[in-house]
Amino acid sequence: MIISVPKESAPGEQRVALTPDVVKRLVKQGVEVRVERDAGLAASHADADYEAAGATIAADANAAWQADIVLRVGKLADDEVGRLREGSILVGMLYPLTNPRLAKQLADRKVTSFSLDQLPRITRAQAMDVLSSMSTIAGYRAVLMSAATSGKFFQMLVTAAGTIAPSKVFVLGAGVAGLQAIATAKRLGAVVSAFDVRPAVKEQVESLGAKFVSPEADLSAEGEGGYAKELSEDQHKKELEFIGQHAKDMDVIITTALIPGKPAPELITEDALKGMRHGAVIVDLAAEMGGNCKLTEAGKTVEKHGVTLIGPLNLPAGMPVHASQMYSKNIVTLVSEFIGEEGAIELDFENDVVGPSTVTHQGEIVNERVKDAVGA
């Protein structure tokens, strides 16, 4: 069996799907690993590192796509789908709920595809949880980005010129990205508060030294698998009013709220923005899905009403060494579920992680949620 790693083609994508240390693990399982030339260079892995680990360097780009299993990080271009061999397997972050056209293309190509963002949130799948791995990096980098942009120190300083108060940081959403943002901001010395519609995360927020803030009204919105679900119209109105009031005194706001398969919920209105301190910074991690802030512009840094709005795209790609290390281990843990003895492919769709993560098989879209998205 051959597993291949083509070079990423999406703009700004520096990660690689397999790192040399994980290649060694696959080779020991009897798998032949093929890597496109310079595929890992942006993540600080030279071709010689892959060859030393037991991989072969593909003769050209087309050869890198001709394999039994193709591993991918970023988005596929239309011509890359055409390079996949019929009957082959593609594994990566495909986001089929927001990109149903790709799912249709893969089905037409008779490719069996597995999307890591469709993995169930169960204990056994934690070692495969790419969303958590990449969110950890995004939360960390968002705080560093805000600290570099803000005109203030994060920590309190006592100097000959007087005492400098610490910055106030507000984190919206206490999922993996939010919790990492809280931890990073606290390490930098900021006073941190956080809000989430899931009361269950209060203990996690407080364990990191931050203050969990919430309105008196019940805004609980615990969804399946630990995700947040959409609030009712009345609940959302109360949520916006509360966030707007709390945002007034903040120096930095990190927003991380997402609802799987749907546009990001609006949490910071233009009125709330107008009420914030001049010089405040907002880093909107939901920018690619429409943004948590009304005036966020995806992929841009803009100033609105005296507040700097940063709408970063694909933050994990900006930390390619550790992002690739984490991604590589996540993806191979999933792939190992269908590698049998002596490196043979054994697909078991009754498997509690393989089945839910399958998007297409034998020319059909088999994931029910993706079918609905294609129909829509």
In the three-class reduction of DSSP (H, G, I as helix; E, B as strand; rest coil), residue 144 is classed as helix
Distance, in Å, from the CA atom of 336 to the CA atom of 67, rounded to the nearest integer, reads 16
Based on the residue annotation, tell me whether 21 is a catalytic residue of this protein.
no
Q: Active site residue: 9, 29, 66, 132, which one? A: 132
Give 53's contacts (C-beta < 8 A, 6+ positions apart).
20, 21, 23, 24, 27, 33
The question of whether 132 is a catalytic residue gets the answer yes
**Distance between CA atoms of residues 290 and 293, nearest Å:** 8
Task: Kindly state the tokens that stand for 29.
Answer: 């399982």
Catalytic residue among 121, 207, 218, 352: 121
Q: Has 251 been annotated as catalytic?
A: no
Q: Is 227 a catalytic residue?
A: yes
Q: Which amino acid is at 177?
A: A
Query: What phi and psi, each to the nearest 5 degrees, are found at residue 135?
Result: -65, -35
- Whole-angstrom Cα distance, residue 137 to residue 181? 9
Q: Are strands 307-310 and 301-304 parallel, antiparallel or unpaired?
A: antiparallel
Identified catalytic residue from 44, 126, 232, 362: 126
Residue (of 117, 124, 127, 125) closest to 74 by Cα position: 117
Active-site residue 126, yes or no? yes
Strands 162-164 and 168-172: unpaired
* Torsion sign (Cα): 182, 187, 188, 189: positive
Residue whose entry in the numeric block shows the structure tokens 């986001």: 95
CB under 8 Å to 6, separation ≥6 — which residues? 36, 39, 61, 64, 65, 70, 72, 80
**Over 147-173, what HEC string results?**
HHHCCCCCCCEEECCEEECCCEEEEEC
Of the residues 4, 34, 129, 204, only one is catalytic, namely 129
Active site residues: 121, 126, 129, 132, 227
